[in-house]
Amino acid sequence: GASPMNPERGKFISVEGGEGAGKSTLLGGLRKAIERHGVAVVQTREPGGTALGERVRGLVLDPALRGIDAQAELLLMFASRAQLLREVIRPALDAGHWVLCDRFTDASYAYQGGGRGQPTAFIADLERWVCTGLQPDLTLLLDVPVAVGRGRVAARGGVDRIEVEADAFFERVRATYRDRAAAEPQRFRVLDASQPPAAVLQAAADAVLALGGACAT
């Protein structure tokens, strides 16, 4: 078993999904569910999670910066990710904590790849270079029809630079996420995010606690 001197590596869980999928609500409930099993959880987000990352987030989501080049946007995402990995994610996992991240590399494939048309091979090269093989142990994909998700965002009011994109953009994002989930069924759990939040949380918590470790304590 784990001792304080030599803790077992923590589990890394990412939550992915399009606009209005309900990630924020789910993350809060999921963190509580894991903590109830006596496991320390570090919750973070992409882009963001560090002083540098939060500034990058401000740039990427700023509606005034409509002219950001698609390749520049992709590189900004990986710059934020590099900082987050070194400053937050890897130290937490090494300390035996579980990490719950609002989006990770799959989002770059979906948004900058599917949405913006950046080459998959280029994204994969950046992933190899920045992530050096680190992938989530579990990725929860909150899948919701684009019209439903966009309706939820509209009800919240106020849109950022990404949310002003046309439906076709978000259809490509959703299709890319679903393709990635189909290609890696052992890592992904696809959750129907058009269900009530409590049902989505229950399905997510079941998948997370099945990762083991949390139940063994």
Burial of 66 (0-12, 13-18, 19+ CB in 10 A): exposed
- Please compute the mean of the pLDDT values over residues 111-120 and round it to a whole number: 97
Which residues fall within 8 angstroms of residue 117, CB to CB, at 6 or more apart?
A: 70
Where is pLDDT greater, at 178 or 154? 178
- Please compute the mean of the pLDDT values over residues 32-54 and round it to a whole number: 96
Mean pLDDT of the chain: 91
Which residues fall within 8 angstroms of residue 61, CB to CB, at 6 or more apart?
A: 160, 161, 162
Query: What was the pLDDT predicted at 151?
Result: 79
- Please compute the mean of the pLDDT values over residues 105-118 and round it to a whole number: 97
- With 50 as the cut, is the pLDDT of residue 217 above it? no
- With 50 as the cut, is the pLDDT of residue 84 above it? yes
182: helix, strand or coil:
helix
pLDDT tier for residue 85 given thresholds of 50, 70 and 90:
very high
